[in-house]
Structure 1
Amino acid sequence: MKALWVLVIAGLSATAMADEAPTDVAQQTPAIEEYTYSTHLDIAKVISMSEIPNVCEVVPAKIEYDDSKGQRHILRYSVMGNGCSNG
């Protein structure tokens, strides 16, 4: 009978811990930072970069990276699209 209670309590504990996991992950998502000319960039490792569209205008882009301390950042900046030609 004691073994049955131990299994029930262990099962409830595992379920409670599983419910908390998504909250921890959501809190670790970094805020999106806006780039300015005075922004100090400390990029140790690039995780991902957004695709630059094939248009001839300034478009928003994002880069996700880790800094030299291992902290994750998401930086939004403006870039000229890839659709312009000189001819």
Structure 2
Amino acid sequence: MERYEYAMDLDIAHVIKSPDIPEVCGVVPVQMTYEDHQGKRHVLEYLVMGKGCQNG
């Protein structure tokens, strides 16, 4: 598994599995599985904002 860092040079040819964003209020780690242009599979972990926050 690789952890995403800002400005990483990613070679994503095909997304195999993208994450469901959790129903939480806050930043959470998620994982995406993809193949590069050589057919090698990668799992990338990165941070997203959860869908559970309400405005106001």
Q: Fold conserved (TM > 0.5)?
A: yes
Q: Supply the AA of the counterpart residue of 2:37.
A: S
1:31-72 superposed Cα distances (whole Å, 9 cap, x missing partner):
x00100021111110000222110110001000000111111
Q: Which has the larger radius of gyration?
A: 1
Larger RCO: 1 or 2 (CA < 8 Å, sep 6+) = 2
Q: Aligned pair 1:63/2:32, yes or no?
A: yes
1:73 to 37, 42, 45: 42
Q: Measure, in 2, the Cα distance between the counterparts of 1:70 and 1:40.
A: 17
Report the RMSD for the aligned CA atoms in angstroms. Answer: 1.0
Q: Gapped runs of 5+ residues in structure 1?
A: 1-31
Q: Measure, in 2, the Cα distance between the counterparts of 1:40 and 1:83.
A: 31
TM-score by length of 2: 0.88
Higher helix share: 1
Higher strand share: 2
Q: Gapped runs of 5+ residues in structure 2?
A: none
Q: Give the equivalent residue in structure 1 for 2:21.
A: 52
